[in-house]
Amino acid sequence: MDQQDIEKKLKNYALWLLSRQEYSRQLLAQKLRAKDGEEAYITRLLDWLESLGYLDDKRYCASFLSQQVAKGLGEKRVMMDAQRKGVDKSYLQHLIEEQEVDWFSVALRAYEKKYSRSTNQLDYKEKSKRIRYMMSRGFRYDEIDYAIEAYSQGE
């Protein structure tokens, strides 16, 4: 297979990926490198996709934030996952402030989803287990405390 065929396949692959979901520049570059693309061509291809508006890190950032909040993840986890996926952390922080994400209500929804069917008595051991679970989801202790208290008030 000659270089033109490889470049054509990479271009089609990139367009196919972007037709299915949003990607950050870094994530798409990783996927294209995995297909053994030449680095110079990948850079030109990414620039071309950005010029057409098919690849937009800010749009990906907004999509990423809404997905993470819908999954019931806290701010710390969102920021950690963002770093791994090549999302601009400063823009993500700006977007969180702009959208005024209420992490307390996100924590409450995540807690309710996980423990709505639980019949366990909330003793020290069970409460510690639930706190660890919520911390692994990226919530701060005050958000977790709010979720536990609000949920126990509503029962």
* pLDDT tens-digit map of 56-72: 989 999 999 999 999 99
- Name the nearest CA neighbour of 44 among 85, 83, 84, 3: 3
Q: Which strand (E) or helix (H) includes residue 110?
A: helix 103-115
- With a CB cutoff of 8 Å and minimum separation 6, the contacts of 150 are 108
Q: Write out 33-77 in H/E/C secondary structure.
A: HHCCCCHHHHHHHHHHHHHHCCCCHHHHHHHHHHHHHHCCCCHHH
Cα 91 to its chain centre, rounded Å, is 14
Residue 138 near residue 78 (C-beta atoms within 8 A): yes
pTM reported for the whole predicted model? 0.81
Question: What one-letter code names the amino acid at 105?
Answer: S
**Crossing angle for the helix pair 124-136 and 103-115, to the nearest 10 degrees:** 120
CATH of domain 3-55: 1.10.10.10
Please report the pLDDT score of residue 1 as a whole number: 67
Please report the pLDDT score of residue 122 as a whole number: 82
What residue has token string 């990226």?
A: 138
How far apart CA 81 and CA 86 sit, in angstroms, is: 9
pLDDT string in tens for the chain (155-residue length)? 678 888 899 999 999 999 999 999 999 999 999 988 889 999 999 999 999 999 998 999 999 999 999 999 999 999 999 988 888 888 999 999 999 999 999 999 999 999 988 777 788 998 999 999 999 999 999 999 999 999 888 75
